[in-house]
Structure 1
């Protein structure tokens, strides 16, 4: 079979496979996304998570959060009870497969494709990067491993890429309840650490809980997209401002007409909008373009009761 004929058959096979699993439409739509941001999020998370696992968690016998910690437990169990060495990279990949299937249907297909890339790169880096003992102190390993892992998770989520594992569960819960990712993940991971403590000893389980706490705090610190801000705008050009917020940020606006200032007695409108921290720079640009003389007050990290649409 010549090369050209083989290439034609191979392309036909790929098209049939893509059509069967509805991937062709997904990949076509992804081509319009900012590849650079998402791919960089995947690569940076994969690199940081592999450093956390191979430089801190494994040498310090500390269990990580989420799917990584579960993968460590499965790997340790295989050695302890089956006398069989299953690498963490393999168990990590196996744990994520069913969660990726759930994410495909319940979160989004573009989201899942990039998460699959992230999980694949993470497994590869964990396997390729050699283990290195920087310190034998389990507490130091717990703290610095949690810092590195938390930064990686937050950076991935900030670029609309999930690191897989319980982060998928956390995002599903956040869409329903609005709770912070790190806090939801903390609750889920405490259950995992309880299992680890019962099997391998409470000392290292407690160190692992330190890792989970540090990681969740770093995730919330880096992943600012989930933090809400309330903007109150006093403007003489309400229609123009509303139109730009609708068009550029896709956010709703509440308008209060016939507001009067007590100093100059000018009649203006008051606009109230809820945005995310990640949208704040775009919001400032919009205000400069639409009404640079408007008075704007922004309250940081407000609590929301009611429906607030999260971007996929």
Structure 2
């Protein structure tokens, strides 16, 4: 990759970090904060601290994240930390801009649902472009390397404590709405990162591999790759088919495979990013 292309790629990445922070700020200040609904992580702590002290939320978002950023710089690396710092500063700015604007709704359920959706889109864009708004994630990444707990489990532990604290400050009904908003945001983050049209990787082991491959090419228009393998029991060589399809093509692929070989072994797995190559081909490669 040339220097110009690298610079262009970095500029685009920071633009998406900036856009993500704007969207996240809308979710917070237009939906969640006016209705005393919090998010998890440092943002959730910041909302509670701002409510109790009267200090602007934008200040706490930066101040409370700084120790985690310093910790992350030493333990994880500067690229991720600099991206996160940019996103956090941008979020803090836009939170202060949107703060004087009245909330869009006083209906707590609507605020939780739409706040979670909007916040999830913003955070998802930031994570997709190698950033983070939550310093606790950096701690979770480090602890994940040193313990048997996953990053998700460690973050969930932090968030359960934070959301429980919301019950003591705002009331338990707000804590339950906060949990709803957090769950919605969590799911929307996944969709934003992975996309709605998830690709699937199919692996097919059959004695009729070439015939199946030709049928996939002719009837699905999907490219295939042959992998050479060996049966664990029979020790005989096997030609394995690898192909990437959409989830809408799964049923048709199964029909093609088992129409040709009812004893074929077929596995289908999620694929979240497909880069390079040609997915539509007319010749076996």
TM-score relative to the length of structure 2:
0.68
- Aligned runs of 1:105-144 on 2, under 5 Å? 105-129=74-98, 130-144=100-114
- Aligned runs of 1:172-187 on 2, under 5 Å? 172=142, 185-187=155-157
Q: CA contact under 8 A between 1:43 and 1:118: conserved in structure 2?
A: yes
2:158 corresponds to which of 142, 167, 188: 188
Q: CA deviation at 1:229?
A: 5.9
1:204 corresponds to which of 174, 181, 188: 174
Q: CA deviation at 1:277?
A: 3.0
- Partner residue in 2 for 1:293: 284
- Partner residue in 2 for 1:99: 68
Distance (whole Å) between structure 1 residues aligned to residue 156 and residue 101 of structure 2:
26
Going from structure 1 to structure 2, the CA distance change for 1:286 and 1:65 (only over 3 Å counts) comes to same
Distance (whole Å) between structure 1 residues aligned to residue 230 and residue 92 of structure 2:
56
Q: CA deviation at 1:105?
A: 2.4
- Aligned runs of 1:159-308 on 2, under 5 Å? 159-172=129-142, 185-224=155-194, 230-232=201-203, 255-257=228-230, 269-270=239-240, 277-282=271-276, 285=277, 292-293=283-284
Deviation per CA, 1:179-211: give whole Å up to 9, x if none.
685x76444322201112123321211111111
Going from structure 1 to structure 2, the CA distance change for 1:38 and 1:167 (only over 3 Å counts) comes to farther
Going from structure 1 to structure 2, the CA distance change for 1:108 and 1:71 (only over 3 Å counts) comes to same
- Partner residue in 2 for 1:249: none
Deviation per CA, 1:57-109: give whole Å up to 9, x if none.
1211111222111101111121xxxxxx2000001111110111122122221
2:43 corresponds to which of 63, 68, 72: 68
Instruction: Name the SS of the counterpart of 1:34 in structure 2.
Output: helix
Deviation per CA, 1:132-179: give whole Å up to 9, x if none.
221111121111111111111111111222223334345556778796
Q: CA contact under 8 A between 1:62 and 1:205: conserved in structure 2?
A: yes
Distance (whole Å) between structure 2 residues aligned to residue 184 and residue 222 of structure 1:
22
Distance (whole Å) between structure 1 residues aligned to residue 274 and residue 97 of structure 2:
39
Instruction: Name the SS of the counterpart of 1:161 in structure 2.
Output: coil
Going from structure 1 to structure 2, the CA distance change for 1:154 and 1:115 (only over 3 Å counts) comes to same
Instruction: Name the SS of the counterpart of 1:113 in structure 2.
Output: helix
TM-score relative to the length of structure 1:
0.62
Query: Structure 1: any 5+ residue segments left out of the alignment?
Result: 1-27, 79-84, 237-252, 260-266, 295-312
Distance (whole Å) between structure 1 residues aligned to residue 35 and residue 169 of structure 2:
17
